[in-house]
Amino acid sequence: MTTAFPEQGPLRVVAQQARTAARTLRSLSTERKIAVLHALARELRARESQILEANAQDVAAAQAAGLGAAMVDRLRLTPAALHGIAADVEAVAGLSDPVGESTPEKLLPSGIRVSTRRVPLGVLGVIYESRPNVTVDVAALALMSGNAVILRGGKETVRSNTALEEAIQAALRAEGLPQEAVQVIRDPARERMLELLKLDDLVDAIIPRGGAALHRFCVENATVPVIVGGIGVVHLYLDGSFTQDPNDVRRAAEVVLNAKVQKPSACNALDTLLVDRAALTVLPQIAQSLAAQGVELRADPEALTCLSGAGLQAHPAQESDYGQEFLALTMSLKVVAGLDEALNFIAAHGNHTDVILTRDAAQAERFVQDVDSAAVMVNASPRFNDGGQLGLGAEVAISTQKLHARGPMGLRELTTTKWVVMGDGHTRA
C-alpha cells in the first residue's frame, strides 16, 4: 500500500519530516524568512539551464503522450517565465509577515491576562495540476508564512518539479534550514495522493488547486481539513438605474465585456448576466460588444426576443445554462423583474463573485447585504476577485467555502492563532 517511490520514503515519513521542519519554521524571524526567499530567487536564476532542461523533458514526454497543445503550453517554462517566477518570489519576500502578531492583552476578572498570537498553520498539503510555477509560488508563500509544505503536482511535471524542489531545498540548506520544509511528492500514483489526504495527525490543511473533480476527490476522501475553492458561478445584475445616462450604459458594456472576455478561463469570469426588465433597452448594445468578441449568448425567451428584434444572434438558454460555470466564451442571460428576483436567483446559484451595476445606493447596499458570496461587488468587474487585485500581494488559492478563509488566500490565511494566558499561580475557582 505504501510502497515507496524509489527516491523517496513512505509518505508518512515525508510528513513526519515536514512536521519536524515546521517546528523550526514557526519560530523563524521575518528577516530569516526574507533571506531564504532571496536565496531561492538566486538559486532559480543560477539553475536556469538545469530547470529548463528538466522542463523540456516534461514537454517532450507530454507531446509524445499526445497531450493537447493548451496543456503542453501550461507546463512549458521559458527563460522569461523562470525569471518572472524568481521575481514573484522576491515580491512575496516583500509582503508583511502576519506571524507573531498579538491581540492586546486583556486582564480578565479571574486575574489572568489573555491574548492570542498569530502562528503558522504548520504543515500544508497542496495538490495541483500541470503548471510548474505553482510549485515555486506555493513554496514561497508557505515559507514566508512559516509553514512546511508537501507539494503534489501533476504527473506531467515531475521532472520540472524535481528540479524546482532541488532549487528550493538548496536555498533552505544555504540558509541553515531543514530542506524537508518543502518536499515534492515524486510518485505520481493516485494512492500517494490518497495517503496524503488521510494523514490528519501530521498535516494541518489540504489546499487543492485545480478543477472541480480534483476538489471533489479531496472533499470526499480527505480526513485532513480541506480548503476548497476556485470554483463557482459568477453573476452580474444590471439594474435599470444604471442605464439612464449614456456614460453609464457605456460603462455597463465595458464592465460586462471585461467580466466575460478578459480571461474567460478564470473562475472569476462572468457566467450569467441578469438584466432588470427596466434595463432591457440597453441589452442590445451590451450584447453587440460581447458578440464582437465572439461570446456565445444563451438567453431566456424575453432576452431572446429583445436581441432578435435588434438583429442580434443568441441561443435559447436551457435550465442547465443557469448555475453553470462556463470557463469559456459562453454565457447565459436572463431578464428579471428587479432586484428581488435577482437576489433570489443568486441565492439559488451563487457563492463565488456577484456584481450589481446600479446608481441607486440603497439597491447597492441591499445587494451587498443579501448576497452571500466570497466577494460582492458594486459597479466593478468580478475579475477583481483575485489576491493581487484585492491587495493581498499574492494568493495561494481562492476559497469558496466559509470556514477559515473566504476568497483569495494570502499569507494571513496560511496562519492560525493560539491563546496565550499569563498568570501568577492562578487557579480556577
DSSP 8-state assignment for residue 277: G
Nearer to a second copy by Cβ, of 275 and 374: the residue is 374
By CB under 8 A, residue 378 contacts a second copy:
yes
Q: Show the binding pattern over residues 380-409: x = contacts a second copy (CB under 8 A), - = does not.
A: xx-xxxx--xxx---------xxxx-xx--
CA distance 186 to 162: 7
CA distance 394 to 26: 20
Amino acid at 384: F
3-state secondary structure of 203: coil
Contact 292, 261 (CB under 8 A): no
Nearer to a second copy by Cβ, of 44 and 177: the residue is 177
CA distance 218 to 228: 9
Nearer to a second copy by Cβ, of 13 and 108: the residue is 108
- Interacting stretch for a second copy, rule CB under 8 A, among 59-67, 277-285, 321-329, 378-386? 378-386
Distance of CA 15 to the CA centre of its chain: 24
Among the listed residues 305, 228, 236, 222, the one whose alpha carbon sits nearest the alpha carbon of residue 268: 236
- Between β-strands 148-152 and 113-120, what pairing exists: parallel, antiparallel or unpaired? unpaired
CA distance 239 to 291: 21
Nearer to a second copy by Cβ, of 128 and 367: the residue is 367
CA distance 224 to 207: 10
By CB under 8 A, residue 226 contacts a second copy:
yes
Compute the least distance from the CB of residue 191 to a second copy, in Å: 18
**Using CB under 8 A, which of 7, 31, 220, 319 touches a second copy?**
220
Nearer to a second copy by Cβ, of 60 and 368: the residue is 368
**Using CB under 8 A, which of 143, 374, 394, 397 touches a second copy?**
374
* Maximum C-alpha span of the chain: 82
By CB under 8 A, residue 46 contacts a second copy:
no
By CB under 8 A, residue 190 contacts a second copy:
no
By CB under 8 A, residue 204 contacts a second copy:
yes
Query: Residue 410 is placed in which grid cell?
Result: 494570502
By CB under 8 A, residue 73 contacts a second copy:
no
Residues that bind a second copy (CB under 8 A): 23, 26-27, 106, 108, 110, 112, 114, 117, 119, 121-122, 200, 204-205, 219-220, 223, 225-227, 248, 251-252, 254-255, 257-258, 262, 347, 357, 368-370, 372-381, 383-386, 389-391, 401-404, 406-407, 416-428
